[in-house]
Structure 1
Amino acid sequence: GDISDPHVEELPVMFELKADAAFMNQFKNNSNEVQERFIESLCQAFSIPRGKLRMKNIDCDKAIICILVLPPYGKKVVDSLNGSTSDAVVRRNAVNRCFSDINANVESVTLGEFALEVEGRLMDPRWNKNYIWSSDNRAEGEYWATPIIQGGKPYFCPSGWKRFGIKVATDGREFDSKWGTWNLAYHGTQGEYASSIITSGLKVSMRGCYYAEGIPRVYVSPSIEYCAHPRYARPWEKTTKNGETIWYQLVFQCRVNPTSIKSITPETILAMENKNKKVDPNFTNDELEWTILGREDQEFIADDIICYGMMMRSIKDDPENFKAAKWWLNSDSRCYSSKKSNKTS
């Protein structure tokens, strides 16, 4: 999920419980002050001061309890849940006891705001980054004007996106030794597939352009904006507690083995009458689709493509009005409709 700096911002933590309507109603009604007892026991489990956790919301229908961890204690909770502290196992066991003490069972824990089903243990917050539009305020994030050459191909700053690191290596040295010379690319997807991609790799398709049906393949692109097209990264909207609507998109940042790129081909989204319109100012339209072929028996490609970052974009308006997304309106009508979105709140 969207884990902003937990040292300075509130950290939402969502617990999905085993469905039990009677328990959820008792919890929501705060029978016998069960909420206060639960919050106090969680504070003890995470070893943070009383009053630094508070209830955010309770969804009886979905059996979800969401709490907020006040800064600066969110980092301690993140580290405890993703296993990056020496006593993480002890902490997680203590959290489980908090639920057993109130006769509840935890099915999953989600950190952050986006409501993505991604387990904290799969993420590596050390590599979280915010990419900004200019170098005017470096305190807000990273920006570079000249592309970085990565494996012989340009890597442009993905301005307007946030990266949430995926745990693929113990440190930067190991990452560079394994994939430092590989090309950088992106793969657009939908939020519900995030956890599967992180744990298994990118699922091959048996259909698509440029290769015969039945040949397993995965498509990636050097352009994050091309991958952000709703055909790949369908936006979803969420209503905040203040009634504000925010749209989100998810694209995976990958390293790709250069020897596995079987073809570099043109985009397949623009309408025929708009083929002269540019998708991304950083690339020609003829180099936007890279094809990586899989083996006959391969369902997922996880050896030649490493997904190491979840790129998230939030937009406080309909994405159609977003400057970087204006090119969507040049799409073939079979690829884009402004009504292709999900709503969650």
Structure 2
Amino acid sequence: MSKVLVIAEHLDGKLNAATAKTVSAAQALSPESIDVAVLAADPAAVAAEASQIAGVTKVLTVANAANDHALAQVLAPQVAKLAAGYSHVFGPSTTFGKDLMPCVAALLGVNQVSDLMTMEGPYTFKRPIYAGNAIITVEAPADQTVVATVRTASWPEADKGGNAPVEAVSVEATLPGHTRFVGLAAGKSDRPDLQSAKRVVSGGRGVGSLENFAIIYALADKLGAAVGASRAAVDAGYCPNEMQVGQTGKIIAPELYVAVGISGAIQHLTGIKDAGTIVAINKDAEAPIFEVADIGLVGDLFKLLPELEAAL
């Protein structure tokens, strides 16, 4: 039987929703157990959240001052030690997971499997390639630990209501001295996190300027939504790159995605293909975005958005 270790992603004492989605993927294996590992300087609050995820067997906490900041080179040796006895080690396919899990795989001497979207068996998985235009079946060796990232856009959050025991563990791992935390540069926003938001409004090249992007923020605020952007808008300097949605940005799966002034390049569509409802607003009726949109509105966004906002 499979035994799965899920590495929790957290920030400022709060568990990231990607962890519950990773647990959901682990449940698809019907494993013997699913344990969640929380590595932090003070893991108590995060562990309490993780213990409430349905399907979790046990929460393992590793308290170490060095874990105060999520550095892959610091966390990986500890995760590699924790992996002993587990058949699978999963992390979310977020910036955190993409940074950490390859390091864990290298320390264990195995190949990493990326972006798991379906489980065909304990060692057989499907994942997207070619910007999501094709799906490939990957088979991992059954005689070694499977280290993988889970495509969070393909999995729902596991339910709450669990009551897993929390166990503090000690890990004897040599931590590197060549990597250390210097500082964190991050944008501050009162809006929902783009990666986990249920509603997202994104603007593209058609918005026209940094100043015009205010109309996108206004609609998002009315909807209680996060704000995203196409790569064209980011490259044009309308907004910072942490807002980019798409193949080279964030892959998201909100319940509602509103694309404003976005033509719909394949790289952008890759990032939103799992959204529940896609609404497109564009003055070009031939824009590719309309081919994937559930609801399309052709017209001038500077006229339509104020009307929509007023109606809301």
Task: Give the TM-score, by structure 1 length.
Answer: 0.30
Task: Give the TM-score, by structure 2 length.
Answer: 0.33
